[in-house]
């Protein structure tokens, strides 16, 4: 299994719905979902938040995002693209991406297409029919980027909203097919987020989580602290 070394922690390159991840037990701490809209100070970020799909996250996740914000250079801010996602919405997004994968790769078997889709979207049911817990449906995961004080998005080599249609390799955190500026910006986002306790999903430079099964697996925790939030 390949690893990504960050400071003293080795992040294992493993898919988000892998059996090893799903085997992690959950002991939900029952934290509430809270709004992100009012925790930023500048109008630029507040305006950016209004286009977000969801601004709900777990309470500690919000606190951690505020900590990460403080680590950014002056004039830069975290922008939340999406936080909590209902199971219904998660299923819609998985099925939409699966349809794209099958159309673009007709040679793949149903199982292969399913696994390929899980690189970018977590299913709500595994291939064997067992229940899966998608990180976004726990309130633990956030899709984020960085903007300047004018609300202009930094160059990350692509925009999050295009994740379903671009080449999957372009979405990877360590993508080598982007400019040095975009690589630097991805590295900056990775560093400030992991320093405060988040883990990154290596197939999505924008996806970070705290407290879910993927977080527990990567940081060698005995259990996740957030389960599905209904």
**Which tens digits make up the pLDDT trace of 95-140?**
999 999 999 999 999 999 999 999 889 999 999 999 999 999 999 9
Active site residue 88: no
Tokens 């309130």 belong to residue: 139
pLDDT at position 208 is: 98
CA distance 158 to 37: 24
All structural domains of the chain with their residue ranges: 3-218
93, 116, 145, 204: the active-site residue: 204
Residue 27 corresponds to which tokens in the numbers above? 């002991």
* Lowest mean pLDDT across 22-36, 48-62, 184-198: 48-62
Task: Answer whether residue 50 shows pLDDT above 50.
Answer: no
CA distances in angstroms from 37 to 80, 84, 133, 153, 192, listed in the order given: 9, 13, 26, 18, 20
The pTM (predicted TM-score) of the whole model is 0.89
136 appears as a binding residue in the annotation = yes
CA distance 144 to 106: 32
Confidence label for 18 from pLDDT (cuts 50, 70 and 90): very high
Number of Cβ within 10 Å of residue 223's Cβ equals 11
143 appears as a binding residue in the annotation = yes
What is the greatest pairwise CA distance in the chain?
50
125 appears as a binding residue in the annotation = no
Second CATH level (architecture) for the domain 3-218: 2-Layer Sandwich (3.30)
Tokens 């919405």 belong to residue: 89
């Amino acid at each position: 299994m390949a690893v990504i070394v960050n400071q003293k922690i080795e992040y294992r390159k493993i898919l988000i719905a892998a059996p090893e991840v799903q085997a992690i037990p959950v002991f939900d701490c029952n934290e509430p979902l809270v709004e992100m809209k009012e925790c930023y100070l500048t109008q630029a970020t507040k305006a950016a938040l209004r286009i977000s799909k969801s601004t709900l996250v777990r309470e500690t996740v919000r606190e951690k995002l505020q900590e990460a914000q403080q680590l950014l250079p002056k004039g830069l801010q975290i922008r939340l693209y999406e936080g909590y996602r209902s199971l219904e919405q998660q299923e819609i997004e998985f099925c939409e991406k699966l349809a794209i994968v099958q159309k673009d790769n007709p040679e793949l078997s149903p199982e292969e297409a399913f696994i390929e889709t899980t690189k970018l979207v977590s299913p709500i049911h595994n291939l064997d029919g067992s229940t899966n817990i998608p990180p976004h449906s726990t309130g633990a995961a956030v899709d984020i980027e960085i903007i300047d004080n004018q609300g202009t998005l930094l160059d990350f080599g692509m925009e999050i909203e295009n994740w379903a249609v671009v080449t999957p390799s372009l979405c990877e955190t360590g993508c080598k097919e982007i400019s040095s500026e975009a690589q630097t910006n991805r590295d900056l986002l990775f560093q400030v987020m992991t320093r405060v306790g988040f883990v990154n999903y290596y197939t999505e430079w924008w996806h970070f989580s705290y407290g879910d099964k993927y977080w527990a697996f990567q940081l060698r925790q005995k259990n996740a602290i957030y389960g599905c939030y209904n």
